[in-house]
A and B are shown apart, each in its own frame.
Chain A
């Protein structure tokens, strides 16, 4: 049978809720079946066949939520073409790890932090609060929606051959560009934060130099610096209140 545009659109809309029942056993398995249901209903109608399809597709599955359309689109096409359940299961097993790590690298460690840093940069550069928030939301979601729609188109168009098509895309180059943009933005923001721009209140030079040193320490120790930084905040509270209004 041929997949209708309506079924594709229904799957796309449902994919926004793919992680609603995220859990440690089946990960997004139930959500994956939830996304596929419009197609499963169209293919199997009801009764035992639908029951069996629901059981098959509600097992363990994982993917980055924005890229789930690649797998869901391809599986929908396979189901519509009447592929053997074993083949569908093999396909799902083959893609589930790679779709997770690909999305993590591109979105969670790329697009999202870059957009967030741009939003913060906007706020620290003097833009009004709503403009900084809007900049982040509009920019981020332009990429977000493009990825979701593109993922479904890829999956539906190429079916089980989607992995080969993914390899053709310049994803490594995109990731490298995002990481350059992110590193650049961290650099831009570091002097602003060290100088006290978080509160729009320029600090005396000695404190700014301490902030510059703290940036260097952060660069050296990476994300492990979060806990020592929290200790600095605690010390800040203690000293600020110990000194009183002096």
Chain B
């Protein structure tokens, strides 16, 4: 039970960090995944899920008022669910976890959108009264509180869904190499697509190829 309470608190912190306060990026999947695993005593499994989801999110940019998936809480939920199941990070189970997280981040992204609409009401209904500065502070901070509650709900519910799914997945035999290959191929494709963020092939093709050469050397040495 302690693990679930901690997960709820971490989920709330991750959600609030993404936009409301203080944006130190514990809301990145790389961090929130590890934290989700850590609360159940399995940080390594959480970090594996977090690293994979980070690869998917590097190219997602929160530009302007764009609506985008919320990867932080989804990674925290997925890693927490996997860790709570007490399963090792084997390829088929990780694949199912990552796929669920990619679906769940659509739901969490939608909840962010709803939260922003609720904030419209929180700040628009208000008309300055006798104590306008205090009232503005109260409403502004209340919005952050609502964001935290939202994070708590989507993280715990996502983790429960993941827990059920991975327990089911682990009960069936699966081909480990195919699952690992799917993660590798999809991850490599998404990573290639991330080059777009830095100017794309036309502008940064040479730098990218230099990096590939270094990556191949790393692989050969490792």
* A positions within 8 Å CB-CB of B: 16-17, 19-27, 29-31, 33-34, 37, 40-41, 50-51, 54-55, 58, 62, 65-66, 100, 104, 108-109, 112-113, 116-117, 119-120, 123-126, 129-130, 132-133, 136-137, 140-141, 144, 178-180, 182-199, 201, 203-204, 207-208, 210-212, 214-226, 228-230, 232-237, 239-241, 243-246
Contact = CB atoms under 8 A, between A and B. Distances in A.
B91 A201 contact: yes
Contact of B193 (A197, A221, A230): A221
Given A188-B215, A188-B218, A223-B197, A193 B187 contact: yes
Contact of B47 (A16, A129, A216, A234): A129
Interface in B145-198: 147, 169, 172-198
A235 B185 CA distance: 11
B25 A141 contact: yes
Interface of B: 19-26, 28, 30-31, 34, 43-44, 46-48, 51-52, 54-65, 89, 91-92, 94-96, 98-99, 102, 116-117, 119-120, 122-124, 128, 132-133, 136-137, 139-141, 143-144, 147, 169, 172-201, 203-204, 207-216, 218-219, 222
Nearest to A117: B58
Contacts of A187: 207-215
A22 B31 CA distance: 24
A126 B211 contact: no
A92 to B, nearest CB: 17
Contacts of A219: 192-193, 195, 200-201, 208
14 contacts: A16-B21, A27-B65, A113-B58, A116-B28, A125-B222, A137-B31, A144-B25, A192-B219, A203-B184, A222-B193, A223-B197, A225-B189, A232-B182, A239-B178
Contacts of B137: 34, 37
A236 to B, nearest CB: 2
A140 B72 CA distance: 16
Please provide the 10 A-B residue pairs with the shortest distance between their CB atoms, ordered closest to farther: A187-B211, A236-B182, A218-B192, A245-B173, A129-B47, A222-B196, A183-B204, A16-B22, A23-B119, A21-B143
B12 to A, nearest CB: 14
Contact of B200 (A31, A37, A222, A240): A222
A142 to B, nearest CB: 11
Contact of B117 (A23, A197, A243): A23
A140 B59 CA distance: 16
A20 B62 contact: no
A25 B120 CA distance: 6
A189 B191 contact: yes
Contacts of B96: 237
Contact of B182 (A34, A208, A215, A237): A237
B130 to A, nearest CB: 8
B32 to A, nearest CB: 10
A118 B218 CA distance: 14
Contacts of A233: 95, 98-99, 102, 182-183, 186
Interface centre among A183, A233, A237 (most CB of B within 10 A): A183
Contact of B95 (A109, A240, A245): A240
Given A129-B43, A193-B191, A241-B92, A186 B136 contact: no
